[in-house]
Amino acid sequence: MAREIQPKDTTRNMAYELWMKAPNPMVTFFKTLDVTNLVKVSRKKNMKFNMLLDYCIGKAAVSVKEFFILPVGDKFIQYDKIAVNTIVKNKDREVSSCDILYTDDLQKFNQDYLKYTVQVAEMCQDRDLSDDCMVIGTSAIVDTEIDGAVGMNSGIFNNPFIIWGKYRKKVFRYYLPISFQFHHTQMDGAHAGRFLENLQNEINRIR
């Protein structure tokens, strides 16, 4: 469920005043994650690496309350659910967008991920949950290694967004540089930093 709230009734009122009309309110952080455990779990359970990372992103986000609010147009919207978006190569060799509702149940999240990414690829139609969920965008550039990427400020799409490429092997461990873009009205650097710390912890904990 999504509903409009008044910024003055939240802890983000000052940020709303400062950043809603800023020429570029988007902030990008870069971080290198140790994804060794994620690679091991992916191989052991025969689960897709990107699905596992999307799951960890959702799990890391739900403990940071700022992820449940988002500036949409000139409004402030409160959500009670979070979804993670993934980009899918469809049967026409183009890309489609697929939102997966986050659930703490990894098996259920995996089932939904497989079901809806296949559906989107076959139908070549986006699956959009943004009317009901705060959606975290992701884009995996799996054909190459990248050090990071800076997204654009469209003035329309204000959702947090994470980009990554191929993970890298160094000796016996695997590392993944990511970029995390967020709207300054939604959260401050401290909140983004807490999310990234949570993300690394969830990657380490998943079994």
Going from N- to C-terminal start, the domains of the chain cover 2-12+22-205
Dihedral sign of CA atoms 124, 129, 130, 133 in order: negative
Residue 196 has pLDDT above 80, yes or no: yes
The pairing of beta strand 161-164 with beta strand 134-140: parallel
Read off the pLDDT of each residue in 116-141 and give the average, rounded to a whole number: 97
Residues 6+ positions from 31 with CB-CB distance below 8 Å: 177, 178, 180, 196
Q: Per-residue pLDDT tens for 2-42?
A: 999 999 999 999 999 999 989 899 999 999 999 999 999 99
Q: Output the pLDDT for position 79.
A: 98
Given this model, what pLDDT does residue 1 score?
Answer: 86
Q: Which two tokens stand for residue 173?
A: 């461990």
pLDDT digits (tens, 9 = 90+) for 145-174: 999 888 777 777 899 999 999 999 999 999
Structure tokens at 187: 């959260």
Query: What pLDDT does residue 125 have?
Result: 96
Cα 81 to Cα 173: distance, rounded to the nearest angstrom: 34
Q: Kindly report the CATH class assigned to 2-12+22-205.
A: alpha beta
The string of pLDDT tens digits covering residues 73-118 is 889 999 999 999 999 999 999 999 999 999 999 999 999 999 999 9
74 or 49, higher pLDDT: 49
Query: In angstroms, rounded to a whole number, what is the distance separating the alpha carbons of residues 9 and 146?
Result: 40
- The DSSP call for residue 147 is S
User: b vs e for 52-67, b when ≥16 Cβ sit within 10 Å of the residue's Cβ?
Assistant: bbbbbbbbbbeeeebb
Look at residue 20 in the predicted model and tell me its pLDDT. 92
